[in-house]
Amino acid sequence: MIDHLLPMTNQFAIALQQKKQYKTYILSDATANSSLEVVPERGGIATSWLVEGKEIFYLDAERFANPDLTVRGGMPILFPICGHLPDNTYTHKGVQRTLKQHGFARDEPWVAASQVTDGCAALTLVLESSDRTLAVYPFDFQLAFTYQIKGNSLEIIQRYTNLSEEPMPFSSGLHPYFLAPDKTKLRFEIPGMQYRDHNTHSKDYFTGVFDPTLDEIDVSFDELTGLAATVTDSARDLRLTLSYNSSYARLVFWTLKGKDFYCLEPWTAPRNALNTGAHLIYLPPGASCEMLVRMTATFF
């Protein structure tokens, strides 16, 4: 049942629905038969992206319904770290703090700030520092993420603002889960010749495919030569293009055997960057920076 419907144009609309325990914003493009579902209070996550009425994202609905579990599916937001820290700890100014895998943005409640239905469907969510975040990450900040759909494309326009009186170190990323019932039919065009295996720590040359018989694949393309990757799923007749601005220094691929998903994740920095400083962003006091990720899904 729709609680609220904004004035709609002929093509674009944003609706607010109660879906089980979560209020869900639904952005839609009627002409393209595309939509995006976003849940601000559950980490600002996008849970469903339809193009031509077909689902692009994978979602474990059971985990999503349990607020005590991390979400496995949709597109979680990674901030202020990507990956995990050794023992989940880092040191800042001589003080050791605990920060769990991928940071806290994917667990914190975000707030819907503004909406656009003219020329596209766009929803901006905001996350601000709180006593809860300051306890694990001693910086005041504001994040503003705009989800925008038009046709068969989804854009995530991100703005990071440091409200502290000292430089703010961080990394960020997106963790989209793409639906793939038959991973043997996937072919990848990734702008990197080599990847590093997180489990074996070995480096290998990439051939355009991954072995779906492995229990887990967790690899990172650390030396990108371009700003876009393409995945062709011949089982679904789907070509997916992921593009990103130059802030994103690497792409991480992750999947599990027996699960109908793969993840292709743009990260600005590697694991443990908050300790090592590798590719870490240091945002000056009062400054902002913007990043962009764009996805295009084409059925052929």
- The ranges assigned to domains in the chain are 2-299
Distance CA 78, CA 95 (A): 23
What is the radius of gyration, based on Cα positions, of the chain? 19
User: What's the pLDDT tens digit per position in 253-283?
Assistant: 999 999 999 999 999 999 999 999 999 999 9
Q: Per-residue pLDDT for 209 more than 60? A: yes
Query: Which pTM value belongs to this model?
Result: 0.95
| Whole-number pLDDT of residue 6 | 52
For residue 20, name the pLDDT band (cuts at 50, 70, 90): confident
pLDDT in tens, 230-249: 999 999 999 999 999 999 99
What per-residue confidence (pLDDT) applies to 8?
A: 47
| Residue 128 · residue 142 · CB < 8 Å | yes
Q: What is the per-residue pLDDT across 43-54, written as a single tens digit (0 to 9) for each?
A: 999 999 999 999
The H or E element spanning position 116 is strand 111-116
**Which token pair is 228?**
């876009």
Which residues lie closer than 8 Å to 109 by C-beta, 6 or more apart? Answer: 40, 41, 42, 43
Report the DSSP beta bridge partners of residue 208. Answer: none
How many residues are listed for the chain in this entry? 300
C-alpha to C-alpha distance for 19 and 30, rounded to whole angstroms: 21
The whole-number pLDDT of residue 10 equals 81
Which tens digit of pLDDT belongs to each residue from 166-206? 999 999 999 999 999 999 999 999 999 999 999 999 999 99
pLDDT at residue 38, as a whole number: 99
Q: How far is CA 88 from CA 103, 109, 175, in A?
A: 10, 22, 19
**Given a cut of 90, is residue 24 above it in pLDDT?**
yes
Q: Quick one: which of 31, 32, 61 has its CA closest to 45?
A: 61
- The answer, yes or no, to whether residue 7 has pLDDT greater than 90, is no
Architecture in CATH of 2-299: Distorted Sandwich (2.70)
At residue 4, the pLDDT reads 56
The pLDDT tens digits of the residues spanning 123-158 come to: 999 999 999 999 999 999 999 999 999 999 999 999
Residue-wise pLDDT for 217-229, tens only, equals 999 999 999 999 9
Separation of CA 128 from chain center: 18
Strands 261-267 and 121-128: unpaired
DSSP alpha helix (H) spans, the chain: 61-65, 131-134, 273-276
| Average pLDDT score over the chain | 96
Local structure of 285: helix, strand or coil: coil
pLDDT at residue 59 is higher than 60: yes
pLDDT at residue 1, rounded to an integer = 45
**Cα 90 from Cα 86, distance rounded (Å):** 8
> Closest by alpha carbon to 35, among 22, 47, 49?
49
| pLDDT tens digits along 61-109 | 999 999 899 999 999 999 999 999 999 999 999 999 999 999 999 999 9
Could you give the CA distance from residue 79 to residue 24 in angstroms, rounded to a whole number? 22
Q: How far is residue 183 from each of residues 34, 188, 213, 235, 260, measured CA to CA in Å?
A: 24, 11, 9, 8, 8
